[in-house]
A = this chain, B = another copy of it.
Amino acid sequence: MRPNQQLKNCQCKLLFYFCKMLEEKNKDRTPISELGEFGLIDHLTKNFKIKQESTIKGIGDDAAVLNFKDSEVLVSTDLLVEGVHFDLSYMPLKHLGYKAVIVNLSDIYAMNAIATQITVSIAVSNRFPLEALEELYSGIETAARIYNIDVVGGDTTSSITGLIISITVMGRANKKNIVYREGAKANDLLVVTGDLGAAYLGLQVLEREKQVFQVNPNNQPDLDAYSYLLERQLKPEARLDIVKLFKDLKLKPSSMIDISDGLSSEIMHLCKHSKLGCDLYENKIPLDPQVISTCEEFEIDSTTVALNGGEDYELLFTISQDDYPKIKANPNLTVIGYMREENAGMHLVTRADSKIPLQAQGWNALNDQK
């Protein structure tokens, strides 16, 4: 019964704030079973246009057919599970579809590559009306349009309980441009895009408002003070702009990763793969003013949030110090530390100038249900 309940919750005032588009549709409820499996896929994907030259044949046969010519092909996949990765009581379906695509694209951009195609598989309870799936696919279509991605395949099936979204993304890059997690050198600069911790705090705000709503459904939350945090949680973007910037600057990072699990965990991945240590400077970590003020309100340490919060989908990369002039004037990029020899260890240099070992406490999906 949960999904129905969740769609009903969607009319609550908290969600009224986010998902007006769903409300209008709630009047119409078409059972999925009316269309059948093939009719459903056709219906949901009929607006999807093929834009990429590398897509020879999209949806409609046993497999899609692509051709990447001389390019290397990048492939990554992510699975999003209701109740683990998202909560439909405050995540509008359109935003969820959008975010599910973004999460995948981010992995391709983290290789300094261009994402080109996705396949989308959905398992959904029959109790979701067609209109709910249309919202989800509308978000997927929006992300595909903005990031210039073709949706070339997928599977739609039923689930016993919640909603599950599995997306596989493909991309392309010239061999010489691909950036791996390995490849950083000692003394390289450690650089991060954007700012950190906001998506995690957005989730904390939503969880708090959900609890308030459960106690008092008439409460009308004022969420203006958290608008940036909520946007980062509910409608994150992937850093295609940075991949384009690298091209324009003729800059190739020596290593790169995207920040999905938290800065600390991702830095440790770069260090481990490149067989290096690092010094990360606490006072350099970029934080939005809303992150600072909300951390004060919630009485949590903003550095801890930035290090371990996750879901930022920013890029973390290393560059040779020789390349510093290329990035120093860019407000999107912040140098947060240096790579060190492996035996120097991985450290956070605190504001008080003491060194403490970095620890990865990143969001661990498999511990969530402990």
Contact = CB atoms under 8 A, between A and B. Distances in A.
B82 A160 contact: yes
A222 interface: no
Contacts of A72: 56, 65-67
Given A67-B72, A75-B119, A107-B63, A81 B157 contact: yes
Interface string A292-303: 000000000000
Given A72-B67, A158-B368, A367-B36, A181 B79 contact: no
A117 interface: yes
Given A72-B65, A83-B160, A160-B82, A168 B77 contact: yes
A276 to B, nearest CB: 16
A160 B76 contact: no
Interface stretch (A92-100, A147-155, A198-206, A245-253): A147-155
Contact of A65 (B73, B160, B162): B73
A39 B72 CA distance: 28
A104 to B, nearest CB: 9
Contact of A84 (B64, B160, B257): B160
B121 A85 contact: no
A57 B180 contact: yes
Interface string A348-370: 00000000000000001111111
Given A36-B367, A61-B180, A121-B166, A73 B73 contact: yes
A73 B55 CA distance: 9
A159 to B, nearest CB: 5
Interface in A141-184: 152-162, 164, 166, 168-171, 175, 178, 180-181
- What is the total number of copies of this protein in its complex? 2
Contacts of A57: 180
Interface string A1-42: 000000000000000000000000000000011011100100
Contact of A153 (B62, B75, B81, B166): B75
Interface in A314-370: 364-370
Interface stretch (A108-116, A185-193, A213-221, A278-286): A108-116
Interface residues of A, number: 76
Contact of A77 (B32, B61, B65, B153): B153
A74 interface: yes
A369 B170 contact: no
Nearest to A85: B157
3 cross-chain pairs, A with B, having the tightest CB-CB distances, nearest first:
A166-B166, A63-B76, A168-B168
Interface of A: 32-33, 35-37, 40, 56-57, 60-70, 72-79, 81-85, 107-108, 110-111, 113, 117, 119, 121-123, 125-126, 152-162, 164, 166, 168-171, 175, 178, 180-181, 256-258, 273, 364-370
20 contacts: A37-B364, A56-B72, A61-B111, A62-B76, A62-B256, A63-B75, A66-B72, A76-B119, A77-B154, A79-B164, A81-B160, A82-B160, A84-B157, A84-B159, A119-B168, A123-B164, A157-B365, A159-B164, A161-B162, A166-B166
